[in-house]
Amino acid sequence: MTQSARRDQFNGAAPAVSVIVPCFNAEATLRDTLTSVRGQTFRNFEVILVDDGSTDGTAGLLAGWALADGRFRVVTLPNGGPSRARNHAALDIARGRYIAFLDSDDIWPSNKLAQVVKVMDADPTLGAVYGRTAFFRDRPELARTVSQVRARPLTPGDLLRGNAVCTMSNVVVRREVFRATGGFDPSIVYSEDLEWLVRLTAAGVRLQAIDATLVYYRSTDAGISINVEKMCAGWKSAADSARRAGCDLSVGEFRAAEATHMRLMARRALRGLAPRGAALKLVLRGVAHSPFGFFADPARALLTLLAACIEPLLPAGLRRLALNA
């Protein structure tokens, strides 16, 4: 495709969906991610690839994709984190009526956009949608764990107790709705997605599930560096946003929600092979905040407590196997 043809494509009619992919040193996974976008059965989209100051081969890969397919374009920023990258693309560049976020190591099923556009076009009252998340390590088809979704729209309280959305790669939102929220808070290092979702739903936006797997989330040993203090601070930022919006949870319910979140983060720390002791630290904090909240799911809570206590003695493979139960 010639350069002039590519310009004409971007200057013509707006696409239905703007896919936003923030990239930082994503050379190892980026090809699989972008292949899953190019393979969508729904074709009316643009892809905004934000190179967030990468120092590996990401820039070269992105340039190749943009050259090969006129729907892909590259924006380069100095490193500032995924929130700033997403905001710049969604608030300043995107032209689609829907914004679809995709992290550079996740994968979409080929019918993701087709399902989402059909549902959202049919119901103008829907502000945003999400689906099930399948977690994989090597190949998406080998995913063993799939998240649950709620039949009713999510509330701030639902999100604080346990984020069913799981990842921003799962979310598609109307462009005007995203702009009304002001975007992500780039000052929040962990749980910036949760804080945004809380603000979104606190504003009365309908965030509804599609009962289908809409994203494959790549789990890697080095995929997330667990920082307990920053994780807790991120959740508190989301809780503060809920309080400012008048979320009708009592003090006890907020504490129980935080304890539940800490249990979920402890399991994530164990699966992600965080620094030893990080999971136990989260468990102890969760129980101290609210035994009721932490043990709301007794089986998972006890398994998490046991795994966190014996984690220093467990081989990594056995630890992951236990937590997959």
Domain ranges of the chain: 3-218, 250-323
Distance CA 65, CA 61 (A): 6
Q: Residue 314 is encoded by which pair of tokens?
A: 């467990």
pLDDT digits (tens, 9 = 90+) for 121-141: 999 999 999 999 999 988 888
Distance CA 123, CA 205 (A): 13
Q: What is the pLDDT of residue 59?
A: 97
pLDDT category of residue 321 using cuts at 50, 70 and 90? low
Residue 319 pLDDT > 60: no
Q: What is the pLDDT of residue 320?
A: 55
Report the pLDDT averaged over residues 105-113. 97
Q: Residue 4 is encoded by which pair of tokens?
A: 């002039």
CB 283 within 8 A of CB 305: yes
pLDDT digits (tens, 9 = 90+) for 163-217: 899 999 999 999 999 999 999 999 887 889 999 999 999 999 999 999 999 999 9
Q: What is the pLDDT of residue 8?
A: 40
DSSP string, 243-284: HHTT----HHHHHHHHHHHHHHHHHHHHHTTPSTTHHHHHHH
pLDDT category of residue 2 using cuts at 50, 70 and 90? very low
CA dihedral 296→299→304→310, nearest 10 degrees, is 140
Residue 7 pLDDT > 60: no
CB 27 within 8 A of CB 56: yes
pLDDT digits (tens, 9 = 90+) for 223-240: 444 566 777 888 899 999
CB 166 within 8 A of CB 217: yes
Q: What is the pLDDT of residue 248?
A: 81
Q: Which CATH number does 3-218 carry?
A: 3.90.550.10
Q: Residue 112 is encoded by which pair of tokens?
A: 């993701």
Q: Residue 235 is encoded by which pair of tokens?
A: 């959740």
Q: What is the pLDDT of residue 272?
A: 63
Q: Long-range pairs for 242-245 at CB < 8 Å and ≥24 separation?
A: 242/156, 242/157, 242/160, 242/198, 242/202, 245/156, 245/198, 245/199, 245/202, 245/203
Mean per-residue pLDDT over the chain, rounded? 88
C-alpha distances out from residue 21 to 182, 221, 244, 294, Å: 19, 22, 31, 35
pLDDT digits (tens, 9 = 90+) for 58-96: 999 999 999 999 999 999 999 999 999 999 999 999 999
The one-character DSSP state at 140 is: G
